[in-house]
Structure 1
């Protein structure tokens, strides 16, 4: 079921949230090229304009660690702090569900 996480970012204000969004958008093309990154989605939260929630799913923990080591991700991690008041990370281990096929399994 992969290795996942949910990250809740709270920006300082609406201007900082917009700058954070721009940084995330600049980072996304590199993430889309990572073979071990299965899902990487940024969400807005209704009625909380300064909050963004990311859902990330990787083939396994090693793929997540490879993601974190990429230059585009390291830049994002370094630059995001200026825009954020808080960051909350919840790591997830899949159990059951519907979605992407297991890594390495034929999809017919």
Structure 2
């Protein structure tokens, strides 16, 4: 069965680094992560944020043109490489929350 494609698809991801490894994780994100998404036309927003209350947490907000673009991103060789590169700094798997944008200031949803 084919998944229904919506106008926009978004993702909130919580990445928890091992104690004291958030800066190392952010370095991989800033380098490899940004290089990978630069060639993805369906990736509209890919933004990493430091948690102000937890020194080990990085939050990602991502927005894609549609569900197919999110699936292409998640299944890409670049994401597989990114997962391998960040694994040594991560304290477990990311927590993912899938979203459907409805209204926003500054974004075309």
Q: What's the TM-score once normalised by structure 1's chain length?
A: 0.82
The residue that corresponds to 2:107 in the other structure is 100
Higher strand share: 1
Q: Distance in 2 between matches of 1:78 and 1:57?
A: 23
The residue that corresponds to 1:2 in the other structure is 8
Within 5 A, what are the aligned runs for 1:47-66?
A: 47-66=53-72
How far did 1:94 drift?
Answer: 1.6
How far did 1:37 drift?
Answer: 0.2
Higher helix share: 1
The residue that corresponds to 1:105 in the other structure is none
How far did 1:58 drift?
Answer: 0.3
The residue that corresponds to 1:29 in the other structure is 35
Q: What's the TM-score once normalised by structure 2's chain length?
A: 0.81
Q: RMSD of the alignment, in Å?
A: 1.6
Structure 1 consecutive aligned stretches of length 4 or more whose deviation exceeds 4 Å: none
Within 5 A, what are the aligned runs for 1:81-100?
A: 81-86=87-92, 87-100=94-107
Which ranges of structure 2 fall in alignment gaps of 5 or more residues? Answer: 1-6
Which ranges of structure 1 fall in alignment gaps of 5 or more residues? Answer: 103-108
